[in-house]
Structure 1
Amino acid sequence: MAVAVPGAKKKIIIDTDPGVDDAMAIFLALRLPEVEVIGLTTIFGNVYTTLATRNALHLLEIAGRIDIPVAEGSHVTITKGTKLRIADFVHGVDGLGNQNFPPPKGKAIEKSAAEFMVEQAKLYPGEVTVVALGPLTNVALAIQLDPAFSKNVGQIALLGGAFAVNGNVNPAAEANIFGDPDAADVVFTCGADILAVGINVTHQVVLTAADRDKLASSNGKFAQYLCKILEVYFSYHRDAYQMNGVYLHDPTALLAAVDPSLITCTEGAVRVQTNGITRGLTILYNKKKRFAELTEWTDKPSVKVAVTVDSSAIVKLLMDRLMDL
């Protein structure tokens, strides 16, 4: 397998369902000098897939980066289920704070999200990081499409899971895993280098109202844009969590993939509950006990799961990068 050249930019595909915090993560990735965003792929989650594609194209136009391809992903789960829950009450009906931006001029490429991931991982073996910010359907489809994908991809950094804390869809499940639990289980057990950043970590990273005021007072074009779309997101957090700030889920996952020193991890096998009252629950087996009988965790590969985060460094990085343009 080819190894990434020291000092070379990290090639990233962002699998996304924009989404206010997805917009923040995408802009942040475009502002990181050590990152080369080689494509966006789209998935249902905060919005349906069609709208996710429209929003991804729109955000790249705002950023002046229409050179970056967008590949549309699956409209249904890996078991052909339809998306039951769209988080429009969190991000706005349009996914971007109910601003009703004009439609983008660009179009998605002909390849599907899974085909694009497989192609790029083959083209740059060991060098591509997939940062998955929504349900894991596209990544699971890439794994099924090409048995070599798990070995070719450098890393899959995913925002997902609620490890030893309550979920945010219900007490058991976090939204991205709940969106397609069967796909998540395929990804966690595929043998790739996987980093899971769950809400046990992202709930420690908060952009406060004071931070938003600071963004608003800057001349940064990304900061100005984000302040326009943030109100719906702030309003949801006030209602749901009684807090005057917003969780930085997607930017935290992105930055953890780019700079692992921002987090600490534990390792073990992760399985996902795919039915019943705890559908979407992520369980980490730390491999400290060897069970006498065979279990659903036996011989499953280990993955990395984030357990602590340098939240002040992440907020500072986000603010610095988005205010200076």
Structure 2
Amino acid sequence: MEPGIPILIDTAFERGLSDILTIVHAARTPGIGLVGVLISSDSPRADARTAAKILKLAGRPDVPVLPGVPSAAKSAIPRQWAADTKWTASTPLSVTEFLIDQSHLYYSSLFYLASGPLTNLAETIREDPGFPMRLAQLYLVAEPPGVDAVGGWTHDPGAAHAVLSSTIPITILDSRVREDSLLTRMRVLRIASARTLLSDSLTRLIALLTEAPGPVSDPLPATSYLPVGGASLGRPKSAHVRIADGRITEATEADARPVAWAAESSPSAGLKEAIRRVCDGRGELTMTLTRFVTDIANFEDAARVEIERRLEAGMPVVAAPEGMETENAFRFQLLAFMGGYLQMLSKLTDPLAAPWLERFKNAFAHEAGLGLRLPDLIYVRWRLEITPGQANPVRFGLSNRGSQLVSELRGRLHLGDWSAEDQIRASSSEARFEFETPAFPTDQPLPTTAEFSVSFRCLDLPFAFSASVPVAPSPRAEVSRIRQTTEGIEIRATTRWTSPHLSAKTLLSATLPGCADCPSASATIEAETGETVVALEALREGPAESGLVKVNLAEHTGGARVSEAFALLPGRGDPLLLDGSASLGSGTFAVRREETWGWSTDFLGGCGSLDYRVAPSGFPISASQPVWLEVDYFSEGDETDTFRIEAATESLEFQPVTAWMIKPEERGWRTDRFRASPMTEPLFQQGRVRWLRVRAGEDGDEIIRSLRALNHPSTPGAREHP
């Protein structure tokens, strides 16, 4: 066991990625000693492979995984994700025997985290009535008192009642609150950019979990973070509870038991901490070095003597180039230090040397940022989209954040019976391979998978990375432009490819959800023309939701949906109208956050800004007073996310109105006010501004509810940026 607070995790993986991140966080956080993972799902032996895989990827294959008593809880992790992992029992003990054994070993200091049914715990209490006295704390992931419970302990209410009736100190972790902790697309890319086996596997898992229909930016919940080792829980509230009618309810002291209820948390901070553990290359190196030192005694005599001689002499310490920044200089020296271990292990003939060489190569590659760099959109959907009937450009490469000299680079792409290879002699920066696929026939199935691989040499040692990605046809038709007008909204859609086996026509329709009496618009996209436009007039009556427009593309016959998008009608007298113009590269779709809709950029889709035309009525501002820009936007709680506002006259030469603004860590809708820059303020005062733009930084998409130019504050409490 790693030194730290001993903790057991009991999970059914019912909460999907949340339970996966909980194990990663526990396995890689200093101060936490993960002593075991128990499985309480409906197929515990099958789901044990999931736990075994994530533990191996997190560098803790030594942690025992024990299938427990089957329950009705179903894992949310797709079985194919862990299909390549074999699980074998690491202990002859049953779950009950294991728990009793660990409670004696860590008397009064063992923590127990349960996100699934409490069957394993209840069975142990029945077997050993003294067990509760030896547990330090039970952390129960559940809905707070008074909220209808879903999943988790409800799969075995009898077991939950037995546990609540025991003397175990209990803290309820409010799963409802932490489900607001979201994985944005840029956070997914941050995980992917770590370029490790762990990050690549998690990226693929995230994509598998988001394959359900909906916008690509649909977030994922990340709950169940451990309340020790850096996670952020608020001050727990004391309460007395009992189980009744499928829920945990607050009650009086006379007929209930005391618990602590962690009702307040900082979900964004918890998620950031979990991602940091995933991407922690230095922590991975520390674990590798620690385990290597403890394993030296198992090497054969000759190898052991050589290792001890090299360690006694010390690995090389190389001076960093003069003028190099501190962080880069430390990485430069650390990589040279690791290179000493690689050279030593590569020369040993002991059978143990080969697996240790691979571990050190993985740690070296992580620190150096060496890894397979797939197209960004693959990390979002985990599939390569191919447009049938035409050649498709595909570009991937080798990342090289540490500027290591690599040679003999070979990039290979396989699609069914077709394959291609590109070579680069040497590089000390990111290397890119360019390919163009053949035009696959529209009347035949596409290859099922794309195989990406790159091999190279570094420090005169061979390295290789590969990934297998599903192939899917790109959408046959798509909404290419949404444009607000003074009358309503204009939607343009385009057919990209057709097939003799599919409907030759696509139906484009626009409706206002929640408004049965509101008008709708529709048009048919002919395969020959490839493009059509529909217009929907703004309605001034009807429900509040009538300003939301739902756009559907479906096959003309059969009605099968091709794609779906959302847009927003302009308000009466709005001085700014969003223009999703392809020439401007503007984002065009609306997304919802916390029950409120706003326009969103799509950086990965090539739309890194929101562009607004100034309506003929112009801005209601004075020519003699200061000009302020007020923007309502959504902050995802990521402190590296930035945007700025720009303005242009008819010339379309955009100038910055504001500096780059870093969003706060608090997640939610915000209103900020900015003083227009000296170079643009006269343009506003003279009425010459014709365009406003919200430009997203390369570190996140922007979600904007409204943008206004004014002389006086219109929103009390808006944060001001002079």
What's the TM-score once normalised by structure 1's chain length? 0.77
Correspondence for 2:63 among 68, 78, 85:
68
Residue type of the partner of 1:32? T
Alignment partner, residue 428 of structure 2: none
1:281 aligns with 2:247: yes
* 8 A contact 2:24–2:274 mirrored in 1: no
2:180 maps to which residue?
Answer: 204
Q: Shift of residue 155 of structure 1? A: 0.9
- For residues 282 and 114 of structure 1, what CA distance do their matches in structure 2 show? 26
Match of 2:124 in 1: 142
Closer/same/farther in 2, CA of residues 57 and 265 from structure 1, 3 Å limit: same
Corresponding residue SS for 1:57: helix
CA distance 1:177–1:308, change in 2 (3 Å): same
* CA–CA distance in structure 2, aligned partners of residues 205 and 237 of structure 1: 21
Tell me which residue corresponds to 1:32: 29
Residue 64 to residue 144, structure 1, CA distance change in 2 (3 Å): same
Distance 1:152 1:59, change over 3 A: same
Question: Within 1, Cα distance between the matches of 2:6 and 2:47?
Answer: 22
Alignment equivalent of 1:156, drawn from 111, 128, 138: 138
Measure the CA separation in 2 of the matches of 1:257 and 1:107: 28
Q: Distance in 1 between the 2:136 and 2:231 partners?
A: 14
Q: Is the contact made by 1:61 and 1:104 (CA closer than 8 Å) also made in structure 2?
A: no
**Offset at residue 257 of structure 1 (A):** 4.4
Count of residues paired in the alignment: 277
Indicate if the aligned counterparts of 1:164 and 1:200 stay in contact, CA closer than 8 A. no
Query: In the TM superposition, what whole-angstrom CA distance separates every residue of 1:214-235 from its partner, at most 9, and x where no partner exists?
Result: 2112234422221111123234
**Cα distance, 1:16 vs structure 2:** 2.0
Answer whether contact 1:163 1:199 (CA < 8 A) is retained.
no
CA contact (8 A) 2:32 2:228 kept: no
Q: Distance in 2 between matches of 1:111 and 1:139?
A: 15
CA positional deviation for 1:211: 1.1
2 CA distance for matches of 1:11 and 1:311? 24
Shift of 1:108: 4.6
More displaced stretch, 151-160 vs 183-192? 183-192
Cα distance between partner residues in 1 of 2:167 and 2:230: 22
After TM superposition, the structure 1 stretch with the greater mean CA deviation from structure 2, 260-269 or 124-133, is: 260-269
- Between 124-133 and 106-115, the greater mean CA deviation after superposition: 106-115
Counterpart-to-counterpart distance in 1, 2:113 and 2:218? 28
* Between structures 1 and 2, the one with greater strand share: 2
Q: Which residue is equivalent to 2:627?
A: none
| 1:206 aligned counterpart, secondary structure | coil
Structure 2 CA distance for aligned equivalents of residues 258 and 284 of structure 1: 29
1:224 aligns with 2:200: yes
The amino acid across from 2:223 in the alignment is H
Residue 77 of structure 2: which of 67, 76, 91 is its match? 91
The amino acid across from 1:157 in the alignment is: Y
Code of the aligned partner of 1:232 = L
Q: CA RMSD in A?
A: 2.5
CA 42–29 in structure 1, closer or farther in 2 if over 3 Å, else same: same
| Residues 220 and 322, structure 1, Cα contact 8 Å, conserved in 2 | no
**Partner residue, 1:300:** 256
Q: Which runs of 4+ in 1 moved over 3 A?
A: 162-165, 235-239, 257-261
Counterpart residue number, 1:49: 44
Does residue 128 of the first structure (1) align with residue 110 of the second (2)? yes
The secondary structure found in structure 2 opposite 1:246 is coil
Q: Describe the shift of the 1:9–1:238 C-alpha distance in structure 2 as closer, same or farther (beyond 3 A).
A: farther
Q: Aligned partners of 2:140, 2:212: CA distance in 1, in Å?
A: 23
Does the C-alpha gap of structure 1 residues 16 and 271 become closer, same or farther in structure 2, counting only changes over 3 Å? Answer: same
d(CA) in 1 for partners of 2:231, 2:188: 26
Separation in 2, partners of 1:298, 1:128: 29
Deviation track 1:65-91 (CA, whole Å, cap 9, x = no partner) reads 222222221124xxxxxx2x525xx43
Greater displacement, 175-184 / 107-116: 107-116
1:100 shift after superposition: 5.1
Cα distance in structure 2, aligned partners of 1:259 and 1:184: 28
In 2: Cα distance, 1:124 partner to 1:26 partner: 20
Name the SS for the 2:103 alignment partner.
helix
Structure 1 residues 143 and 257, CA gap change in structure 2 (3 angstroms)? farther
Distance 1:64 1:200, change over 3 A: closer
d(CA) in 1 for partners of 2:211, 2:159: 31
Q: CA deviation at 1:127?
A: 1.1
Q: Following TM superposition, by how much is the alpha carbon of 1:62 offset from its aligned partner in structure 2, in angstroms? A: 2.8
Q: Which residue does 1:14 correspond to in 2?
A: 9
- AA of the residue aligned to 1:308: E
Structure 1 residue 149 displacement after superposition? 1.3
Give the alignment partner of residue 268 of structure 1, picking from 232, 239, 255.
239
2:154 maps to: 178
**What secondary structure does 1:159 align onto?**
strand
Contact preservation (8 Å) 2:66, 2:89: no
Distance in 1 (CA, whole Å) between partners of 2:145 and 2:27 is 29
1:236 and 1:265 map into 2 onto residues whose CA distance is 36
* 8 Å Cα contact 1:71/1:110 also seen in 2: no
**Native 8 Å contact 1:162 1:282 kept in 2:** yes
Contact 1:57/1:107 (8 A) holds in 2: no
What is aligned with 2:218? 244
For the 8 Å contact 1:113–1:138, the answer to whether it is kept is yes
Mark the runs of 5 or more structure 2 residues left unpaired by the alignment.
Answer: 282-722
CA distance 1:320–1:75, change in 2 (3 Å)? same
Aligned 8 A contact 1:10 1:129 in 2: yes
Contact 2:171 2:262 in 1 (8 A): yes
SS at match of 2:183: strand
1:54 to partner: Cα distance: 2.4
Q: Classify the secondary structure of the residue corresponding to 1:23.
A: helix
Q: Distance in 2 between matches of 1:140 and 1:103?
A: 30
Higher helix share: 1
Pick from 107, 112, 122 the counterpart of residue 89 of structure 2. Answer: 107
AA matched with 2:28: R
Label 1:161 to 1:237 Cα distance change in 2 as closer, same or farther (>3 A). Answer: farther
Judged with a 3 Å threshold, the aligned counterparts in structure 2 of structure 1 residues 106 and 11 are, in CA distance, closer, same or farther, namely same
Change (3 A) 1:63 1:203: closer
Q: Structure 1: 5+ residue runs without aligned partners?
A: 1-7, 77-82, 166-171, 288-296
Quote the residue 1:292 is aligned against.
Answer: none
Code of the aligned partner of 1:301 = R
Letter in 2 for 1:33: P
Q: What letter corresponds to residue 225 of structure 1 in structure 2? A: S
What secondary structure does 2:129 align onto? coil
**Counterpart for residue 23 of structure 1:** 20
**Structure 1 CA distance for aligned equivalents of residues 6 and 257 of structure 2:** 24
Rounded Cα–Cα distance in structure 1 between residues aligned with 2:202 and 2:161: 33
Structure 1 or 2, whichever has the larger Rg, is 2
Q: TM-score, normalised by structure 2?
A: 0.36
* Of 100, 104, 107, the match for 1:118: 100
Alpha-carbon distance in 1 for matches of 2:144, 2:108: 28
> Following the alignment from structure 2 to structure 1, what is the Cα–Cα distance between the partners of residues 255 and 87?
49
Identity between Structure 1 and Structure 2 (%): 25
Distance (Å, rounded) in 2 between the aligned partners of 1:28 and 1:53: 18
Find the partner of 1:324 among 271, 276, 280: 280
Distance 1:233 1:162 in 2: 26
Contact kept? 2:111, 2:137, Cα under 8 Å: yes
